Structure 1
Amino acid sequence: MKKILFIFLAACFFFSCEKEAIVIPQQHAGRTVLAFFWANNNLSDNLRRNILTMMNGLTEVTDSATLLVYWDGYENSTEPNWKTPTILRYTTNGRGGINGYSKDEIEDMFSNSSTADIVEIGVVEKSYPSQISTEKQVMQTVISDMMECYPSESYGIIFGSHGSGWLPTITGTRSIGVDGVNANTAVIPELVEVLRTVNPQKFDFVLFDACMMGCAEVYYELKDVTKYCIASVLDIPADGFPYASVMPYLYENAIKDYLESICKDYIDYYNYNGWGTISAVDCSQMEGLAEVTRSVILSHRDNLKNVDTADLQQYGKVGNNFKGYAYDMVQFVGNLTGGTVPEEFMQQFNKAVIYTDYTPNPTSFLYRIDGNNYCGMGMYIPNSSTTPKYLLWNNYFKSSIAWYHVSGWAETEPIWGN
């Protein structure tokens, strides 16, 4: 009787499996790189060229590797590619070919075809109706779809668009991403929640091809969702990262060993040809950096009003909108403590900032860096100003940014300076 029952249940099982036709996607070995481009703004052409240089870099990867791009460009425009938001796939065979085109065919395209024609060989994995790609639910859906399109052992992700660090979302000021108008932008805490939801195992890296993301407030928010972050505390020139040389590094298994190379390529590209700062940060060390920062601020709280921010290197260079969003972190600590940065602080800071550099020969005086007071990480210094900008910034800083609560600023609010 038991044998007959077993045969019956087994038959039901196999019939059910055949009926359901459940297929588990194969997980691809290695890392897949995702690029999320908010291109519905004046960077659309630049971001399209970034796809071209990414393809150029893919031809140099010596193993099979895949790049997935989410593109949301100008709506109702004459731009030649992808009229609605689209996920695109570019896979190299490790021998210079991409998406079934041979190395020779790809090289011929680069020599004789337009940017639009070359990037058009991307395989369309999914298209969406018009949507606001900076909305939290949209970001979550799209990044989940990208990962489902190409299941992999691990992922790194690039975000490309306008940016302004930790700042709140208001007209004229953005945090990251602009979809049509400045008011359509994402805030860092929401972006981090999205990344935590779609990939609980953490991303191998987050690369911000967006201005002013290289600040303590952003790095701290990212500590639970990515191992490493690559970002600039200054504006990034419109050309973005030099992906033709950087892309092969992004697929290396031991990505930490190549972070310095990524940063050096960036600085080499813009020295005498623009401007730049760049840092690679170990986000797992940000908790420790918050603790030591809190210790320094609380033990020297009586000096807070004596620190004149006018004496500090500040990184919000363009106009009044962003001025004061971040100051050099180590320089601030040195001024707060009377000129000598505590050894304990510096040791932990160096654990967090794996590598940093700046262009010593920028073509713009506006972006010239004082190398003697440059550490590679910016930090907001809240103040007691009652101007509308600082009222907004301070209220948002207190209500939404975790760094406020963990770094000592919450306990010292009554004695913030001007």
Structure 2
Amino acid sequence: MKKLVFLFLILSFFLTSCEKEDTPELPVVQRTVFVYMPWSTNLLSDFQNNIDDMEIAIKKGILKNERVLVFLSTTSKDATLFELQYKDGECIRHTLKTYENPAFTTAAGITSILNDVKSYAPANGYSMIVGCHGFGWIPSSSSTRGIDQRMHWDSQGIYRTRWFGGKEFKTDITTFAKGISDAGLKMEYIMFDDCYMSCVEVAYDLKDVTHYLIGCPTEIMAHGMPYEDMCVYLLGTVDYASICEVFLDFYQNYERMPCGTIGVTDCSELDELATIMKEINSRYTFESSIMGSVQVMDGYLPAIFFDLGDYVTKLCPDRDLLDKLEVQLKRTVPFKSHTEYFFTMAKDVYRGEIIKINAYSGITISDISTNNDTAKKAETAWYKATH
């Protein structure tokens, strides 16, 4: 009997050893950058162009101690997770997993995808790039528009701009935040390559799951971010100032439509910004008769997104309190850039329109909007924290 027990122990040891050899632990890199491109109706070709531009950048040997994983939906039911790898002067795509009917509009589905990323590419830190349509903080259940009402992502004209997840596949920001939180992650940055995502309501919802938020306060052209030149600043030690400079240089010279806006929000500063805003709101009420004087950042009628800084200058007559807010706002949005005009397809989805930027803080707010789509603004975490 003792011999049998001894033989069993020896056999168990070898079996355990073999199992460990078959599933070696993956090396932990400094950062994994996750490019998330769920199904977005009419943007697939633009996403593919974005990935091509990332490959051009990676061919230059910019990857040091980072990995780049891409989740790309090619239909509403099919998606692939693959890695962009540098090898012998080329960038190759290494498929890691395929998905059927991924639940990318649910928190559980997002958590599952992020757990896959962690499993395939363990890292000391993570960042996330999101390519989709975007509509800021507006929840999918808020849209009161009829089936014939066209939106900025419905563009059929010669110029197109970029609902987070597509027209029929919308992901609420609160759902997105829970998906990241449930995966146990806090990103170094989340960059939205989408329209209207640099807004204070979005940033406040995401402040516990990312250190920085990069996004556009207006619409962004369908081309998206200029990854060929921007990638080097998104990897390694992130250079937020250069990200904004590259963006501005690209869109100032963009032949199709030279318009673009970008802002970088330091989410650690948002609580202090909310504290000052709460004091302002407790003392002053916005005079609706001067709404037309506030810088709008969209083409909707009535407008949905307003420049946050310009709005507060019209709300708060107390110079000392306003100065305090302006100082904090610069800390909250330390990097930003914009062209002279922004472009919108919201007014005319066949031709579009350009609107002059007279005031710019790199982030928007919807507090004074009377648009039906903002009916639930008082339910946002930002509004509750500031009123």
What's the TM-score, normalizing by structure 1?
Answer: 0.77
- The answer to whether structure 1 residue 350 and structure 2 residue 330 are counterparts is yes
Letter in 2 for 1:308: I
CA distance, structure 2, for counterparts of residue 43 and residue 249 of structure 1:
24
- The answer to whether structure 1 residue 89 and structure 2 residue 75 are counterparts is no
CA distance, structure 1, for counterparts of residue 314 and residue 116 of structure 2:
48
Give the equivalent residue in structure 1 for 2:297: 315
Give the equivalent residue in structure 1 for 2:356: 369
Matches within 5 A, 1:166-315: 166-170=137-141, 175-178=163-166, 182-200=167-185, 202-253=186-237, 255=238, 258-273=239-254, 274=257, 275-300=259-284, 303-305=285-287, 308-315=290-297
Instruction: Report SS of the residue matched to 1:308.
Output: helix
Answer whether contact 1:307 1:336 (CA < 8 A) is retained. no
Give the equivalent residue in structure 2 for 1:4: none
Answer whether contact 2:336 2:361 (CA < 8 A) is retained. yes
Give the equivalent residue in structure 2 for 1:57: 57
Letter in 2 for 1:287: D
| Runs of 5+ consecutive residues of structure 1 not aligned to the other structure | 1-6, 76-82, 100-121, 409-418
Letter in 2 for 1:380: S
2:374 aligned to 393, 400, 403, which one?
A: 393
Letter in 1 for 2:83: R
* TM-aligned CA deviation for residue 239 of structure 1: 0.3
The change in CA–CA distance for 1:404 and 1:197 in structure 2 (over 3 A counts) is: same
CA distance, structure 1, for counterparts of residue 342 and residue 202 of structure 2:
25
CA distance, structure 2, for counterparts of residue 382 and residue 347 of structure 1:
22
* TM-aligned CA deviation for residue 28 of structure 1: 2.7
Letter in 1 for 2:290: D
* TM-aligned CA deviation for residue 176 of structure 1: 1.4
Using the aligned pairs only, state the percent identity.
22
CA distance, structure 1, for counterparts of residue 184 and residue 58 of structure 2:
24
CA distance, structure 2, for counterparts of residue 67 and residue 269 of structure 1:
23
- Higher share of residues assigned strand: 2
Answer whether contact 2:342 2:357 (CA < 8 A) is retained. no
The change in CA–CA distance for 1:331 and 1:307 in structure 2 (over 3 A counts) is: farther
Letter in 1 for 2:250: Y
Give the equivalent residue in structure 1 for 2:70: 69
- Higher share of residues assigned helix: 1
What's the TM-score, normalizing by structure 2?
Answer: 0.82
| Runs of 5+ consecutive residues of structure 2 not aligned to the other structure | 1-5, 146-150, 154-162, 345-351
Answer whether contact 1:54 1:244 (CA < 8 A) is retained. yes
- The answer to whether structure 1 residue 162 and structure 2 residue 142 are counterparts is no
* TM-aligned CA deviation for residue 266 of structure 1: 0.8
CA distance, structure 2, for counterparts of residue 126 and residue 162 of structure 1:
24
Pick which of 142-151 and 58-67 moved more: 58-67
Question: How far does the alpha carbon of each residue in 1:258-288 deviate from its partner, in whole angstroms, 9 at most, with x for none?
Answer: 1011111111111142211101111111111
Answer whether contact 2:286 2:314 (CA < 8 A) is retained. no
The number of residue pairs the alignment matches comes to 352
Instruction: Report SS of the residue matched to 2:176.
Output: helix
Instruction: Report SS of the residue matched to 2:334.
Output: strand
- The answer to whether structure 1 residue 380 and structure 2 residue 366 are counterparts is yes
* TM-aligned CA deviation for residue 329 of structure 1: 0.9
Identify which of structures 1 and 2 has the higher relative contact order when contacts are C-alpha pairs closer than 8 Å and 6+ apart: 2
* TM-aligned CA deviation for residue 236 of structure 1: 0.6
Letter in 1 for 2:270: M
The change in CA–CA distance for 1:209 and 1:128 in structure 2 (over 3 A counts) is: same
CA distance, structure 2, for counterparts of residue 249 and residue 357 of structure 1:
16
Give the equivalent residue in structure 1 for 2:122: 151
Question: How far does the alpha carbon of each residue in 1:362-392 deviate from its partner, in whole angstroms, 9 at most, with x for none?
Answer: 6888333323x21111001246x5xxx52x5
* TM-aligned CA deviation for residue 405 of structure 1: 0.6
CA distance, structure 2, for counterparts of residue 293 and residue 337 of structure 1:
10
Question: How far does the alpha carbon of each residue in 1:303-341 deviate from its partner, in whole angstroms, 9 at most, with x for none?
Answer: 323562221111122x44xx5222111111111123846
Answer whether contact 1:205 1:227 (CA < 8 A) is retained. yes
Question: How far does the alpha carbon of each residue in 1:10-69 deviate from its partner, in whole angstroms, 9 at most, with x for none?
Answer: 969846743764846323322121111124411111111111001111123434442111
The change in CA–CA distance for 1:8 and 1:223 in structure 2 (over 3 A counts) is: farther
CA distance, structure 1, for counterparts of residue 337 and residue 266 of structure 2:
16
CA distance, structure 2, for counterparts of residue 351 and residue 40 of structure 1:
33
CA distance, structure 2, for counterparts of residue 74 and residue 45 of structure 1:
12
Letter in 2 for 1:381: D
